Structure 1
Amino acid sequence: MRPAEVDRVTVEEAVDRYVELVRAKTVTGGLSVATGEVYARDVATFARLAGADRVLDDLSGEDVDAVLLAFARKPDERRSSPGGSLTQSAASQARFRRSVSAMFKHAALAGWVQLNPMAAATVTARERGGLRPQRRALTREQAEGLIGAARSPAAGEVSRRRDQRTEVRDALIVLLLTTLGPRVSELVRANVEDFYTNDGVRYWRIFGKGGRTRDVPLPRDVADALVEYLASRPSTVEKALLLSWRGRRLARGDVQAVIDRVQAKVDPEHRRAVTPHGLRHTTATHLLADGTDMDAVRRVLGHSDLTTLGRYRDELPGELEVAMRTHPLLREAMREARVGDADAADL
């Protein structure tokens, strides 16, 4: 539906207003600080590339395409090559497009544009080869190897402080990430008081994106690991569940360091680099592969709808062969064949 009257703001003014909205959402918990910073940076880049003095409503789909192409060709200072700076990766291009699209979606609702030009934009970026290996789900053997290494500390492994058993903490981190698939921001934000018991079942109240919360029951092994960790956690005024060896709340980068440290103890045959987000994919993939209800998996991960969940379901080696061997329309015939084979063997 078109607005009755368009507010012909410039690109610069629209971006400024949108950034104020984004910052307000980060203050109220509607957006994470990291996401807010990305949106603000991307739309500021959009303003420079599109022309700050142009009227936002005058931009067409072709204009947006030109900006997307200009961003794609823009050198990425974070990466370098022998011949100079590399251009933006496909992932960065896709992220930039999402940021710009979110701004125009708000612009259409606010009456800054009559029609959203993103609907006519055609430039898209594809991630070659799908997800990066670190973001893909681990296979069952790889995931079990990681969990096993976390729960069996190497001989002689000691913590840097006697009042903390960091190997117990590391095991809890790996178990929570692999079995519940929280966002890394949700994990480092967790406090001791967020875990409670109801009717003998231990729950984690997770404070997620958009100010939404979800209460997820812990598998028995994870609940036991939590109890063991809390028993070894030093008494401190710090509310954070996960503490560094200095007694401070863990940061996002610390979580990756924990995963890498545990991975180093995994049998090389079943070892593969993975990020916290890759473990989130692992949770979704194996729960769905085991026949868990899709809506239950959605609630565990904290997605608002099932369409988002589809992006977290990765392909597992051999899953098509297993599916065809146990096809639901042929199970009765297969059972009869097995009975016939058994009768023939008795003759």
Structure 2
Amino acid sequence: MRPTDVQRLTVQETADRYTEMVRAKSATGALAPGTAEVYARDVLTFAELAGPELVLDDLSGADVDEVLLRFARKPDGRRRAPSPTGGGAAARQSAASQARFRRSLSAFFRYAVIAGWVQLNPMEAVTLRAKERGGLGARRRALTTEQAGGLLGAARSMAAAPADAGRRSDQRTELRDALVVLMLAAVGPRVSELTRADVEHFYVNDGVRYWRIFGKGGRTRDVPLPRAVTRVLEVYLAEGRPLLDRGREPQALLLSWRGRRLARGDVQAVIDRVLARVDPDHRRGVTPHGLRHTTATHLLAAATDMDAVRRVLGHSDLSTLGRYRDELPGELEAAMRVHPLLGGDGD
């Protein structure tokens, strides 16, 4: 039941309590760890933007509107705005990030009403409305064959390049970055599955290297790795990972230069570094989830068995694949040229 008296708690106090609650749910298995950390991060960001010393119950819909605007203008340290030289300042928050932040605030204020931190939910008075997305954004769509080839080619070149002896060992992350991009594009894991991967999750059976992926809902799947990925993985384990190993995360496959497990937010920066090496004619920004779309789209376009693609991606239902299947240029024309009712004579 909702408490009779509203507690006059500050924004920071309620954010801290809410963060403790979602992390406790994660520890008991009631909430996925990745989801709990997203909620916690967004609510702590909200406290920073709203004013941590203000009383939560004093915030109005207009105040939350202002927070949403501040978040939209806030630089996203994980992404860089494109520039001709491949650098650029940190980009603003994407539409997807803004929508996620709004969902996190909605969940926070629903809980705040139940906990007795606010009398009324200010989200109900918010006037800002999310833009209609009109389909997937360019960074979330599948890469074309040429774009994917450029990205994978850059990754493989990084893996094959000799180490720069003039740099500190903990700054030599080319092998790791190449492996990240190859695994995302070739296997299509969720970014949380990639960053949770441990060295012991990779094994060899009958000469084939497999990755045991721990996915949603406690489900696991064993995915065979393509030979090109296996070669880079083995070089990374033998030469690249030891340079980053500080003994802090002895099981983690992917390590930061500090020797910590690579964080989810670091993966976009890795992709962007590899993209900077791609020929501008074949370069297009893409997110980790966009690479998951790329895997699904190209496997299905190559007439790979749908159930096999489902198992690679870790979906429980074939119908979910429809969300990951993007249109590729020229594929309808190619399909009609080899029309089965015309015996392949579709011209």
Please confirm whether the aligned pair reaches a TM-score higher than 0.5, indicating the same fold: yes
**Structure 1 vs Structure 2 CA RMSD:** 5.0
Provide TM-score, normalisation by structure 1. 0.66
Q: Is 93-102 or 281-290 further displaced after alignment?
A: 93-102
Cα shift readout 1:320-344 (whole Å, capped 9, x = no counterpart)? 22223333xxx24x33859xx9xxx
**1:286 Cα deviation after fit:** 1.0
* Structure 1 spans left out of the alignment, 5+ residues: 45-51, 54-63, 81-87, 107-122, 342-347
| Alignment partner, residue 136 of structure 1 | 141
| Alignment partner, residue 230 of structure 1 | 237
Cα shift readout 1:7-64 (whole Å, capped 9, x = no counterpart)? 999999xx999877633332245331433426867999xxxxxxx98xxxxxxxxxx9
Helix, strand or coil for the counterpart of 2:136?
Answer: coil
Identity of aligned residues (%): 64
| Alignment partner, residue 322 of structure 2 | 310
| Alignment partner, residue 279 of structure 1 | 291
AA aligned to 1:244 is: S
2:300 to 288, 291, 296: 288
* Kept after mapping to 2: 8 A contact 1:214/1:299: yes
**1:154 Cα deviation after fit:** 9.4
**1:180 Cα deviation after fit:** 0.8
Provide TM-score, normalisation by structure 2. 0.66
Task: Give the Cα separation in 1 of the matches to 2:156 and 2:16.
Answer: 50
Task: Give the Cα separation in 1 of the matches to 2:318 and 2:110.
Answer: 22
AA aligned to 2:175 is: V
> For residues 192-203 of structure 1, what are the structure 2 equivalents within 5 Å?
192-203=199-210
Helix, strand or coil for the counterpart of 2:177?
Answer: helix
1:221 to 221, 228, 245: 228
| Alignment partner, residue 23 of structure 2 | 23
Task: Give the Cα separation in 2 of the matches to 1:73 and 1:246.
Answer: 34
* Structure 2 spans left out of the alignment, 5+ residues: 9-14, 48-55, 77-92, 112-127
| Alignment partner, residue 119 of structure 1 | none
Cα shift readout 1:295-318 (whole Å, capped 9, x = no counterpart)? 322322223434443222222112
Q: 1:263 to 1:99 in 2, by over 3 A?
A: closer
**1:166 Cα deviation after fit:** 3.3
> For residues 129-168 of structure 1, what are the structure 2 equivalents within 5 Å?
129-153=134-158, 158-159=163-164, 166-168=173-175
1:37 to 37, 40, 49: 40
Task: Give the Cα separation in 2 of the matches to 1:196 and 1:277.
Answer: 25
Q: 1:213 to 1:335 in 2, by over 3 A?
A: closer
Q: 1:75 to 1:181 in 2, by over 3 A?
A: closer
AA aligned to 2:343 is: R
| Alignment partner, residue 255 of structure 2 | 243
| Alignment partner, residue 321 of structure 1 | 333
Task: Give the Cα separation in 1 of the matches to 2:234 and 2:240.
Answer: 10
| Alignment partner, residue 177 of structure 1 | 184
**1:213 Cα deviation after fit:** 2.5
1:78 aligns with 2:74: yes
Q: 1:36 to 1:103 in 2, by over 3 A?
A: closer
* Kept after mapping to 2: 8 A contact 1:90/1:127: no
AA aligned to 2:295 is: T
Larger-gyration structure (1/2)? 1
**1:90 Cα deviation after fit:** 5.2
* Kept after mapping to 2: 8 A contact 1:42/1:100: no
* Kept after mapping to 2: 8 A contact 1:42/1:96: no
> For residues 56-135 of structure 1, what are the structure 2 equivalents within 5 Å?
76=72, 78=74, 91=96, 94-95=99-100, 125-135=130-140
